Amino acid sequence: MTDRYDAIIIGAGIIGAGIAFELSKKGYRTVNVDKLAAAGEGSTGATCAIVRTHYSTWDGTALAYESFRHWQDWPGYLEVEDERGPARLIETGLVIIRSAQRSFKKELGFHDQLGIPYEEWDVATLQAEIPFCDATAFYPPRRPDDEHFGDPTAQSVPGAIFIPAAGYVNDPQLASHNLQRAAEAKGAKFLFDTEVVGIRRHEGRVAGVTSKSGDAIDAPVVVNAAGPHSFIVNRMAGIDGTMKVITRALRHEVHYLPAPDAERLPFISDDDIGGYCRPEVGHTMLIGSQDPACDPQEWIDDPDDFNRDVTSSQWQSQVYRMALRIPGLDIPTHPKGIADLYDVSDDWIPIYDRSDLGGFYLAIGTSGNQFKNAPMVGRLMAELIAACEAGHDHDVDAVRVRCPYTGESLDLGFYSRNREVNRASSFSVLG
């Protein structure tokens, strides 16, 4: 059996579903092919879905702020109603706790340039705003088995930054389903329980994909939006080895605990202890790691075969570090949380680009920080694909995309597969 479309999108996570919606708006007949049973069941299903703007580059900050505006107007952006209702942006605001190591001056400069409001807090303000926080400094972050774990390194952290334009999306799988429904309303198709095992070429261009059951789907455009499987899909397309920046899968854990003061808990990004937390429904909170040097990195060769259980060692590292900041934390005896994969690029900045194979496009390397950007990533990819398929040489003259809400102009050359590793990056989940 052979089916024919204008574009095949491998993956129906938040990124693939967003691309389907934006391509369909342009009149493309798209099909998303996903080996799982529903939209957003891959790494999107495990995301903390935090929406924030403090990235280490102007481009990252501008994309995140534009995307924040999309989430604020989510039902309007979707144009149609989903029978399950819309996902919601919960605007908690963000408190960045500064460390002795990092002032965030550069990041605040980008906020000034883009008109994103923020407040700089001294320690007294931090303690008044979040009374359950201890402001002692512990930098550098350590693991509990370090003999100096919990030793204060200064009387207090250098202060904090409050950014109101931040929060989280309450249901990331529902958000993916919302995008699926929005795309379907424009004629898009979604095929689930269908694994792509081959990518076919014809006369030097991509010609389509072949599924595990042997079905062929033809299209002149194929998009790799396979999340942590991105490097495997690139291998299938025969383009691994043609890019300067590559992607790999990195295992990460997020832990669930009772929240100390769920009403007043904002999203906290703590550079001093190398962790973050945000409130979750049911008076709980999530705690994650910001990849400080003390946390070992667990790279995964086979994204279908890794430990999905939380480990007591990482639980202790993340939770005990947060307990230094929130001494009243109620730590359960049994670890609870999730383990899933980031699709990490060499510089923790995504690759949104064409490839050396004509018609084959990349929306990969989301590096644990691109859920929030999915609606705009859909638009970036749709503009890129339309321009390249019309003959534009994006490698020579990078496509630019105008942001509908903020009016900024984004240079897609920033996300090139052939960039030099971007040394301005945090080389962490902060992007």
Closest approach of ligand FAD to the CB of residue 153, in Å: 28
Q: Which residues of 124-160 are buried (b: 16+ CB within 10 A; e: fewer)?
A: eebbebbeebbbbbbbbbbbeeeeebeeeeeebbbbb
Q: Whose structure tokens read 């995309």? A: 401
Q: What share of the chain is helix, strand, coil (3-state, %, to 5)?
A: 25, 25, 50
DSSP calls for 242-279: S-SS-EEEEEEEEEEEE-SSTTT--EEEETTTTEEEEE
Residues at the contact surface with ligand FAD, assessed by CB under 6 A: 10-16, 33-36, 41-44, 46-50, 195-196, 225-229, 233, 252, 254, 340-342, 366, 368-372
DSSP tag of 424: T
Closest to ligand FAD by CB, 137 vs 250, is 250
Distances (CA, A) of 149 to 117, 139, 255, 311, 321: 35, 10, 20, 19, 9
Closest approach of ligand FAD to the CB of residue 20, in Å: 11
Closest to ligand FAD by CB, 34 vs 383, is 34
Closest to ligand FAD by CB, 67 vs 99, is 67
Closest to ligand FAD by CB, 138 vs 348, is 348
Closest approach of ligand FAD to the CB of residue 267, in Å: 9
Whether residue 129 contacts residue 164, with contact meaning beta carbons closer than 8 Å, is answered with no
Closest approach of ligand FAD to the CB of residue 31, in Å: 11
Tokens coding 22: 């934006």
Closest to ligand FAD by CB, 135 vs 265, is 265
Cα–Cα distance measured from residue 415 to residue 312, given in angstroms and rounded to the nearest whole number = 37
Closest to ligand FAD by CB, 310 vs 399, is 310
Closest approach of ligand FAD to the CB of residue 295, in Å: 13
Closest to ligand FAD by CB, 46 vs 123, is 46
Distances (CA, A) of 394 to 230, 266, 386: 21, 41, 11
Tokens coding 139: 């930098």
Closest to ligand FAD by CB, 158 vs 280, is 280
Cα–Cα distance measured from residue 385 to residue 197, given in angstroms and rounded to the nearest whole number = 23
Closest approach of ligand FAD to the CB of residue 198, in Å: 9
In this structure, the dihedral spanned by the alpha carbons of residues 357, 3, 213 and 7, taken in order and rounded to 10 degrees, is 40
Closest to ligand FAD by CB, 90 vs 100, is 90
Closest approach of ligand FAD to the CB of residue 252, in Å: 5
In this structure, the dihedral spanned by the alpha carbons of residues 77, 80, 81 and 87, taken in order and rounded to 10 degrees, is -20
Residue nearest to ligand FAD (CB): 13
Distances (CA, A) of 50 to 26, 64, 92, 249: 29, 11, 10, 20
Closest approach of ligand FAD to the CB of residue 299, in Å: 14
Closest approach of ligand FAD to the CB of residue 356, in Å: 20
Closest to ligand FAD by CB, 158 vs 228, is 228
Closest approach of ligand FAD to the CB of residue 122, in Å: 28
Distance from the Cα of residue 231 to its chain's centroid = 17
Tokens coding 201: 């070429």
Cα–Cα distance measured from residue 139 to residue 95, given in angstroms and rounded to the nearest whole number = 17
Closest approach of ligand FAD to the CB of residue 342, in Å: 5
Decide: helix, strand or coil at residue 67.
helix
Distances (CA, A) of 327 to 64, 99, 196, 330: 32, 18, 49, 9
Closest to ligand FAD by CB, 158 vs 172, is 172
